[in-house]
Amino acid sequence: MRELLFVAITTALKAGDAIMKIYERDFTVEEKADNSPLTEADRVSHKIIVTHLHDFPVLSEEGKEIPYEERKNWEKLWIVDPLDGTKEFIKRNGEFTVNIAFVEKGVPVLGVVYAPAIGVLYYGGQGFGAFKVENGDFSFLEDITSSEVFWRELSKVAVSLPVIDDRKEIVVVASRSHRNPETEEFIRQIEKKYGKVKTISQGSSLKLTAVAEGKADVYPRIAPTMEWDTAAGQAVVEAAGGKVVEYETGNLLRYNKENLLNPYFVAFRKGFFV
């Protein structure tokens, strides 16, 4: 687990560094077949990630055409989103991430979510715990080749998740762009049970990490997402003691399915389940 996390974190940092070089200058935006945006940063990050994650197959948003007949035999794989929140990247609001998850038999067992524009790194895994590093200049980590030295240096600045606070209100985190009637009804049901609810908005996988760290109690996603949008964030939430479950059934989200579209889901922080 530690070695896989070492590889995932260092790869995410390298990809994030390349993304920021593009973010800080002018860049062009293309439109994919599904009308979603694509930038040079998506491609560059994808190339860096697949170059470094070479021990297991990689399922990436920018390489999603791999047929299920091939994928179904992958018991272990990486699921990555080289640039989660391309719209946020284009808006230059900083709320975009690099997502890297390692999946075994459909279960995300470790995840890394790195938001390079705001200098925040989240990581976690089964039996390892979940952690956050913020306000970080991670350049000193990128050149460390010894995992022992790497973990020693990272442990000096990492904070274990969830972070406990004494707030009284229930906090729901929701998407900036997918606040539909079903989501509003879910929030109303929470209000009926707990009283006044505070709602916050975040972009990309930062909604899931808000749940992992305890800033939010619940994240309902009653709108489409793909596996690479959620695998890394789910791994961090679960490593922090939370859950990410299907909205209809309550089952944990599974990965490397024939259809890479996720069912609607709800993420809960540790100790808060509806």
Topology (CATH level 3) of domain 170-268: D-Maltodextrin-Binding Protein; domain 2 (3.40.190)
Is 143 marked as a binding-site residue?
Answer: no
CA–CA separation, 105 and 95 (whole Å): 30
Q: Report the distance separating Cα 159 and Cα 26, nearest Å.
A: 35
- Residue ranges of alpha helices (H) inside the chain are 2-23, 40-52, 68-71, 86-91, 139-142, 147-155, 181-194, 206-213, 227-239
Interval 235-272: pLDDT, tens: 999 999 999 999 999 999 999 999 999 999 999 999 88
DSSP-derived 3-state class of residue 184: helix
Task: Check pLDDT > 70 for residue 32.
Answer: no
Position 29 confidence tier, pLDDT thresholds 50, 70, 90: confident
Which of 162, 261, 155 lies closest to 208, judged by CA?
Answer: 162
What is the structure's pLDDT at 62?
A: 76
pLDDT at 40: 86
Cβ neighbours of residue 216 under 8 Å, at least 6 residues apart? 171, 172, 173, 200, 207, 210, 269
Q: What helix, strand, coil percent values describe the chain, rounded to 5?
A: 35, 30, 35
Instruction: State the pLDDT at residue 5.
Output: 96
Does the annotation flag 137 for ligand binding?
no
Predicted pLDDT at 139 = 73
Mean pLDDT of 72-91: 91
Write down the pLDDT at residue 65.
78
Provide the β-strand partners of residue 38.
30
Ligand-binding site membership of 195 (annotated): no
The CA distance from 27 to 236, in Å, is 31
Residues 123-176 have pLDDT tens digits of 999 999 999 999 777 777 767 778 888 999 889 899 999 997 778 889 999 876
83 is in an annotated binding site: yes
Q: Does the structural domain 2-161 have CATH classification 3.40.50.1000?
A: no
The H or E element spanning position 52 is helix 40-52
- Please tell me the predicted confidence (pLDDT) of residue 138: 79
Where does the pLDDT of residue 274 fall: very low under 50, low under 70, confident under 90, or very high at 90 and above? low
pLDDT at position 4 is 96
| pLDDT per position as a tens digit, 87-121 | 888 888 888 999 999 999 999 999 999 999 999 99
30 annotated binding-site participant: no
| All structural domains of the chain with their residue ranges | 2-161, 170-268
230 contacts 110 by C-beta, under 8 angstroms: no
pLDDT of residue 33: 58
37 pLDDT band, cuts 50/70/90, is low
Residue 24 is assigned to a ligand binding site: no
Q: In what order do the strands lie in the sheet with 243-246?
A: 197-202, 170-175, 218-221, 265-268, 243-246
Give the integer Cα–Cα distance in Å for 255 and 274: 24
Dihedral sign for Cα atoms in the order 42, 47, 48, 54: positive
The reply, when asked if residue 81 is annotated as ligand binding, is: yes
Contact between 217 and 170 (Cβ < 8 Å): yes
* 108-146 burial: b if 16+ Cβ within 10 Å, else e: bbbbbbbbbbebbbbbbbeebebbbbeebebeebeebee
Predicted local distance difference test score (pLDDT) of residue 105: 96
For residue range 195-222, list pLDDT tens digits in order: 889 999 888 899 999 999 999 999 999 9
Please compute the mean of the pLDDT values over residues 53-61 and round it to a whole number.
91
Q: What is the predicted pLDDT for the residue at 80?
A: 97
